[in-house]
């Protein structure tokens, strides 16, 4: 092989290599573009959400909704499942349609109970026995109603029963001792911490001091409230059961 032919062969080989590399690049780029244009599902805010809202509240109130977007527009840290933020608290506002990202949240435990309060919300500790506090069942994040048995007329010993507070969030339970038989022998009271408004706490405190009461656990999703009513011996004896 002459020197000239060898150079031609080298040039042809280099051209083939360059063509192959170009083909590989174009194919890889095409696949990358196609991958970025694929449709994926992310969660966005259904409405404006203020800082301090817990992930549990977002899930409970259906404040997040699913949207399909192209992969290329997914924000870093965007969640694909609400459970990812269930135990977190929002540190910055979220606006309607904005993608929900882990960067906007922090650990609820690091914020403590105060991190779960906002606006008119207050935390109040409610002491009671195992039955009143649904010992062994109740846990932080649950929603409860407060049922009270009051005596408005002590002279006639009249008793009236009513649900006095609805949809109250449990912030904390005394897990160390709040078991099903925690107070059965000792008589020692346990407690839970509830989130109430600054006006609801007045009603709750009145019931604590002047009535027999208990908590009732609400459904985790799609809870529905019946119409308001007051029960007495007369309504129980004269009205049908329902």
pLDDT digits (tens, 9 = 90+) for 112-133: 777 677 788 899 999 999 999 9
CB 208 within 8 A of CB 149: no
Other C-beta atoms within 10 Å of 204: how many? 22
- Please name the residue ranges forming H helices in the chain: 3-36, 55-60, 108-111, 200-210, 233-238
Rg (CA), the chain: 31
Angle at 224 between CA 221 and CA 227, to 5 degrees: 165
pLDDT, one tens digit per residue, over 67-102 is 888 878 888 888 888 888 888 888 888 999 899 998
The helix (run of H) or strand (run of E) holding residue 163 is: strand 158-173
Write the CATH number of the domain with boundaries 39-113: 3.90.1210.10
Share of the chain above pLDDT 90, in %: 30
What's the pLDDT at 165? 95
Query: How far is 242 from 239, CA to CA, in rounded Å?
Result: 9
Torsion of Cα atoms, 113 then 115 then 119 then 121, to 10° = -10
CA 234 to chain centroid: 41
- The pLDDT of residue 186 is above 50: no
- The pLDDT of residue 195 is above 90: yes
- SS3 of the chain: helix, strand, coil, percent, to 5: 30, 30, 40
What's the pLDDT at 201? 94
Cα–Cα separations (whole angstroms), residue 214 to 14, 135, 149: 85, 11, 9
Query: How far is 212 from 148, CA to CA, in rounded Å?
Result: 6
What's the pLDDT at 123? 92
- What would the mean pLDDT of 3-14 be, rounded to a whole number? 74
Angle at 119 between CA 201 and CA 202, to 5 degrees: 10
Indicate the pTM of the whole model: 0.53
- The domains of the chain are located at 39-113, 119-238
């Amino acid at each position: 092989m002459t020197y000239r032919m060898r150079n031609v062969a080298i040039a042809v080989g280099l051209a083939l290599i360059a063509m192959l590399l170009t083909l590989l690049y174009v194919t890889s780029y095409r696949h990358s573009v196609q991958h970025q244009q694929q449709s994926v599902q992310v969660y966005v805010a259904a409405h404006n959400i203020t800082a301090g809202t817990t992930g549990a509240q977002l899930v409970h109130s259906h404040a997040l909704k699913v949207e399909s977007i192209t992969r290329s527009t997914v924000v870093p840290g965007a969640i694909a499942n609400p459970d990812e933020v269930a135990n977190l608290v929002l540190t910055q506002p979220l606006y309607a349609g904005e993608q929900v990202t882990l960067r906007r949240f922090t650990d609820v435990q690091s914020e403590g109970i105060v991190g779960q309060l906002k606006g008119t919300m207050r935390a109040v500790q409610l002491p009671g026995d195992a039955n009143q506090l649904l010992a062994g069942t109740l846990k932080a994040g649950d929603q409860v109603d407060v049922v009270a048995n009051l005596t408005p007329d002590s002279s006639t010993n009249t008793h009236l029963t009513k649900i006095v507070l609805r949809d109250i969030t449990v912030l904390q339970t005394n897990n160390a001792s709040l078991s099903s038989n925690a107070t059965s022998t000792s008589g020692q009271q346990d407690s839970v911490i509830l989130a109430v408004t600054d006006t609801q706490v007045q009603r709750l405190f009145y019931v604590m001091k002047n009535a027999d009461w208990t908590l009732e656990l609400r459904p985790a999703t799609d809870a529905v409230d019946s119409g308001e009513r007051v029960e007495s011996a007369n309504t129980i004896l004269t009205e049908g059961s329902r």
